[in-house]
Chains A and B, each alone.
Chain A
């Protein structure tokens, strides 16, 4: 089992360290990459350390253990705001962040998805922009991320064996003529690797992988960074604000420790990786006389362009049993609809990925608020259900944004974030298409009845500190370095200029590897 012992500790006034806020896909990867280069880092993680032996094979109990449950508010016309008004997102507050909970899907973005303003043209209401980097810029880092994470179907690694849920998807997809159907590119060991076992098909991917077959920074990057002697991990360190000096460079981070005492860690540079709600919240809460609208917010884009992916699920009941809960949660994919084909009535594309929920979460998420015979008939069919998640590119909109609540305060007295979201017409058209195709897949496999399940609280939170070529319409450059503050970096999915159709983690990890090289160069050149 991994060691989390801090071999090194740094003084709070040590201004040579890079402070990384967050230990998930972005922060955890950055810590590993920087410490390999001999750079000292302090990792401030708001959540507790739960080792993988602490994980719980029980949906609600695990949710209580791992999920980010601090108060948040919601607004806008999205249904999540009605059904789960204080739970806009389903992400984690734990060492390892949401890589404890993620399903493992590791897809590269497609080349055209880095230049959608050019490819899609102007779409009313959408704040589209090309990324300030290209697919070719990122390709070598995708390769390194795939190797680091042990992604199946890359580097000669076999695919995972298909479970029952995949068999249903595959049969229906093939009957419809879909070509790109397989058990996915998953950061889940199909063979033992890195001292971690092959997948045992437990079916608790969302609850933390107790065998470690699924990649997570919790038991890969964090222990490796600590072992170098160049990292100190401080769990239960909830960041309040980032401070700067008179020259406008960040100089330290103020946080509350496990006992609720305010602490300050000096910093040579700060990398923010708190996921797309907390990251802009920290910048907004760091306003000062020099940065009255929040740190690094001269563009006014901090918190804006919040994206959550177009999502939805289809569950379908069959005459014969499926037992979808047996085995990996995301066990297979149909990729044919991920192309950009405006003849379908919308820009961008979507992936269809198997998904299963245990009985407790099926009740909670199938159709929140529903009751009566229609609902219980679906639950009665639980063992005969197959399921898929639909995930596609949603349009960035300026009004979809994270703001600070006027009056609600958290346990530390800090303004809580409000998450506002309205679907763009393109999102609605894509979801309708995806529902129709998802149902068609299951009907082609013999489904008796199909259910359209609305979006869950957001697992893919993106875009709230986006990259841009110009400082006027984005927060950071192509390396995640903020336009306004040279030694402040955005290191999570907040950087995404647009969302693409694919699950974001592989791209977050790839960007973090690339960012680490850039930070090391900038430090060596004494530019920061």
Chain B
């Protein structure tokens, strides 16, 4: 049976060297950006199952309940690329094995709370730090994340002068002497 949080996130599955899922459509801006409702990530160095563990682990480290698995999968993609280095691949594999051993065989099979208990226990380990330090960049440095969190990204390149740089209305306007004229606007 799927628990609520999983069903909200849509479908996630690992087979062979592929990680695949569907969008939960929890974030309309991301849904608009996505080319389709389902996505798949073919891994080069990690197994699909390892990818699934890493995706879920990243969700525990940086939990954003309505952020699509498809965005977290970008972290797995970067970890997979780093695992082209044999030392990194072995370290990741050992870390995942350790997590499973702690969990009595299959960490993914535990409920969310028990999964998290083991995540806390491995915090600071080499594998955890690799996932955290990769995710803190990969998770927040992509177009889907920009839309989800509401950051303009390169849309700002053209400038916000006529596109809302001063559109805040819930506080009083600063007086003219504290601010300055908007160039190109009348008055």
A positions within 8 Å CB-CB of B: 57-60, 152, 158-164, 166-168, 170-171, 181-183, 190-192, 198-204, 210-211, 320-323, 325-327, 332, 358-360, 362-364, 369, 371-373, 375-376, 379-380, 382-383, 445
Chain A, residue nearest B168 (CB): A164
- Contact, CB under 8 Å: B182 / A161: yes
Q: Does B38 reach chain A (CB closer than 8 Å)?
A: no
Q: What are 14 residue pairs bridging A and B, where the CB atoms are less than 8 Å apart in the complex? A: A57-B154, A58-B154, A158-B180, A159-B178, A160-B180, A161-B183, A164-B165, A170-B178, A190-B181, A200-B160, A203-B156, A359-B146, A373-B63, A380-B64
Q: Does B35 reach chain A (CB closer than 8 Å)?
A: no
CB distance from B166 to the nearest CB of A (A): 5
Chain B, residue nearest A158 (CB): B180
Q: Does B3 reach chain A (CB closer than 8 Å)?
A: no
B positions within 8 Å CB-CB of A: 61-64, 123, 132, 136-137, 139-141, 145-146, 149-154, 156-161, 163-168, 170-174, 177-184
CB distance from B137 to the nearest CB of A (A): 7
Chain A, residue nearest B178 (CB): A182
Q: How far is the CA of A409 from the CA of B64 in the complex (A)?
A: 42
Residue from B137, B154, B179 whose CB has the most chain A CB atoms within 10 Å: B179
- Contact, CB under 8 Å: A320 / B61: no
Residues of B within 8 A of A182 (CB): 177-179
Given contacts A320-B170, A358-B153, A375-B62, contact A158 B181 (CB under 8 A): yes
- Contact, CB under 8 Å: B61 / A383: no
- Contact, CB under 8 Å: A202 / B159: yes
Can you list the 6 inter-chain pairs with the closest CB atoms, starting with the nearest?
A200-B159, A159-B180, A327-B165, A383-B150, A359-B151, A363-B140
CB distance from B72 to the nearest CB of A (A): 12
- Contact, CB under 8 Å: A203 / B160: yes
Q: How far is the CA of A211 from the CA of B161 in the complex (A)?
A: 13
Given contacts A358-B151, A359-B149, contact A161 B160 (CB under 8 A): no
Residues of B within 8 A of A363 (CB): 136-137, 139-141
CB distance from B168 to the nearest CB of A (A): 4
Residues of B within 8 A of A192 (CB): 183
Partner of A326, one of B61, B146, B152: B152
- Contact, CB under 8 Å: B145 / A201: no
- Contact, CB under 8 Å: B171 / A371: no
A sample of 10 more A-B contacts (CB under 8 A), given A170-B174, A203-B152, is A162-B180, A163-B160, A167-B171, A203-B160, A326-B156, A358-B153, A362-B140, A364-B137, A382-B150, A382-B151
- Contact, CB under 8 Å: B145 / A359: yes
CB distance from B82 to the nearest CB of A (A): 16
Residues of A within 8 A of B156 (CB): 57, 202-204, 325-326
Partner of A164, one of B146, B150, B166: B166
CB distance from B67 to the nearest CB of A (A): 9
Partner of A371, one of B61, B64, B174: B61
Q: How far is the CA of A240 from the CA of B149 in the complex (A)?
A: 46
Q: How far is the CA of A486 from the CA of B67 in the complex (A)?
A: 63
Residues of A within 8 A of B123 (CB): 371
CB distance from B173 to the nearest CB of A (A): 7
Q: How far is the CA of A369 from the CA of B151 in the complex (A)?
A: 22
CB distance from A323 to the nearest CB of B (A): 7
CB distance from B167 to the nearest CB of A (A): 7
- Contact, CB under 8 Å: B171 / A445: yes
Q: How far is the CA of A204 from the CA of B165 in the complex (A)?
A: 13
- Contact, CB under 8 Å: A202 / B180: no
Partner of B149, one of A59, A160, A369, A379: A379
Residues of B within 8 A of A211 (CB): 159
Partner of B61, one of A166, A322, A364, A372: A372
Chain B, residue nearest A210 (CB): B157
